[in-house]
A and B are shown apart, each in its own frame.
Chain A
Amino acid sequence: MKFGIIVFPGSNCDIDCYHVLKEVLNQETEYVWHDTEDIEDFDCIVLPGGFSYGDYLRCGAVAQFSKVMDSIKVHAAKGKPVIGICNGFQILTEAGLLPGALVRNANLKFICDIAALKIENTETPVTNCYEAGEIIHIPIAHGEGNYVVDEDTLEDMKAHGQILFTYVNNPNGSIVDIAGVCNKEKNIIGLMPHPERASEALLGNTDGLKFFQSIIHHLEEGFSNGK
Chain B
Amino acid sequence: MKAKVYVTLKKSIADPQGTAIKGALHKSGYNNVEDVRIGKLIELDLGEITKEAAEEQLKVMCEKLLANTVIESYQYEII
Contacts and interface: CB of A to CB of B under 8 A. Distances in A.
Interface of A: 57-58, 61-62, 65, 93-94, 100-101, 103-108, 148-150, 173
Given A57-B65, A61-B65, A65-B65, A101 B16 contact: no
Interface stretch (B24-32, B43-51, B52-60, B66-74): B66-74
Nearest to A60: B68
Contacts of B16: 104-108, 173
Looking at B9, B16, B20, which has the most chain A CB atoms within 10 Å of its CB?
A: B16
Contacts of B9: 103
B17 interface: yes
B17 A108 contact: yes
A148 B65 contact: no
Interface residues of B, number: 12
Nearest to A94: B68
Nearest to B65: A61
Contact of A57 (B12, B13, B17, B66): B66
Contacts of A150: 12, 70
Nearest to A106: B16
B41 interface: no
A137 to B, nearest CB: 26
Contacts of A107: 16
A103 B66 contact: no
B78 interface: no
A116 B9 CA distance: 30
A66 to B, nearest CB: 13
Given A93-B70, A101-B71, A106 B65 contact: no
A149 B14 CA distance: 12
Contacts of A105: 16
A193 B13 CA distance: 23
Contact of B70 (A57, A100, A108): A100
A148 B71 contact: yes
Nearest to B42: A57
29 contacts: A57-B65, A57-B66, A58-B68, A61-B65, A61-B68, A62-B65, A93-B70, A94-B68, A100-B70, A101-B70, A101-B71, A103-B9, A103-B13, A103-B71, A104-B16, A104-B17, A105-B16, A106-B14, A106-B16, A107-B16, A108-B16, A108-B17, A148-B70, A148-B71, A149-B70, A150-B12, A150-B70, A173-B14, A173-B16
Contacts of A57: 65-66
Q: Which 3 A-B pairs have the closest CB atoms?
A: A101-B70, A101-B71, A108-B16
